[in-house]
Amino acid sequence: MALKIQCFTFNGFQENSYVISDQNGTGIIIDPGCYSRDEENELAAYLSDNHIIPIALLNTHAHIDHVLGNSFVKDNYKIPFYLHKDDTGTLDAVRQYASLYGFDGYKTSPIADMELKHGMNLVFGEMKIKVLHTPGHAPGHVIFYFEEEGFVINGDVLFNGSFGRVDLPGGNIDILKESIFEHLFTLPEATIVYCGHGPSTTIGREKRDNYIHQF
């Protein structure tokens, strides 16, 4: 079994959005940050050109840069939206401050259809995903661990050489450190980490070099 991972870098925050699909064309969309018409078209064209049928929308967390395309995805593909309940307030707040970040055309995200919970296992086609609750950057932040394939979609918890900011509402450095050390650094060192911003990395590299160790 082999899954295909496609990363798109969208919006002014240079946020990484992901489409994961199996060999049968079943797909999931994670953190769609598409805001402009061109970005929406880029996502739609990829799905169409590759004959991928999306069956789920998942958010690692609900900061504005990760949810700008939620409404577009829901409106166009009519698929269930998954979010941890502790980020419901984070999602609701986006409509209140979107214009302050220059996103005057923000289309309010729908509320979640399905609740993500720590330790739950999701299956979409041939994709098997373990959900781990990893707060600290956002209260309801989760990561999606594809154990059989050896990678994790980790949103804004861990970056290549860095980690998620903790100065936003709900952020806490001590809680973030706990999430990283208990849930990410316990994964196999060869695990590939696909980040919400910037290049991918590996668990082993970050265990050695990430400056989270200095805090």
pLDDT in tens, 90-143: 999 999 999 999 999 999 999 999 999 999 999 999 999 999 999 999 999 999
**Number of domains the chain is built from:** 1
Range of the domain at 193: 4-214
Q: What residues contact residue 68 under an 8 Å CB cut-off, 6+ apart?
A: 10, 11, 32, 33, 34, 35, 103, 106
> If pLDDT is split at 50, 70 and 90, which confidence band does 1 have?
low
Pairwise CA distance, residues 23 & 55, whole Å: 14
Cα separation, 157 vs 154, in Å, equals 6
Triad 50, 52, 56: Cα angle to 5°: 150
Task: With a cut of 80, say whether residue 48 has pLDDT above it.
Answer: yes
CATH of the domain at 121: 3.60.15.10
Q: Tens of pLDDT along 190-206?
A: 999 999 999 999 999 99
